[in-house]
Homo-oligomer: A and B are copies of this chain.
Amino acid sequence: MSENTRRVGEFIAAWRRNRLDELMRFIAPDCVYHNIPMQAVKGAEAIRAALSSFSSLASDVEWVLHQIAENDHGVVLTERTDRFKIGGKWVELPVMGTFELRDGLITAWRDYFDLQQFTKQLPPPQS
């Protein structure tokens, strides 16, 4: 297993602990994070804020890795089910994501999923 595949595997596994400080140690300062149905988020500070917005909603998180493959350029492609326990209920999102790395840090992260598939599972906002 190459170093990049190993690092991405560790990043995905780390979501189980859902600690923002630990997750951000995988992210390069100049990383671009693009949830494809939404606007790209540029730079570690903005990415931290974006991850916090859904990380903080979840009392439990588990990202299940189905497939991982790396090409000759060191780019790592993943197929996953990202699971978030929100308001006492598990929300499951099928997703594929591409990771580009430099010196063990993620410089580009693009996740492909259906936004409605996610939002329609969310509990209604508490009043």
Question: Out of B68, B69, B71, B113, which one reaches A112, CB within 8 Å?
Answer: B113
Question: How many chain copies does the complex carry?
Answer: 2
How close is A16's CB to chain B, nearest CB, in angstroms? 22
Decide yes or no whether A79 CB sits under 8 A from chain B. Answer: yes
Known pairs A37-B116, A114-B116 / 10 extra A-B pairs, C-beta < 8 Å: A67-B75, A68-B71, A69-B76, A69-B77, A77-B79, A77-B96, A79-B98, A94-B112, A112-B112, A114-B115
Chosen A-B contacts, 26 in total, with CB atoms closer than 8 Å, are A36-B94, A36-B113, A36-B114, A36-B117, A37-B117, A67-B71, A67-B75, A68-B71, A69-B69, A69-B70, A69-B71, A69-B76, A69-B77, A70-B71, A77-B78, A77-B96, A79-B96, A79-B112, A94-B112, A96-B97, A96-B98, A112-B112, A112-B113, A112-B114, A114-B116, A115-B116
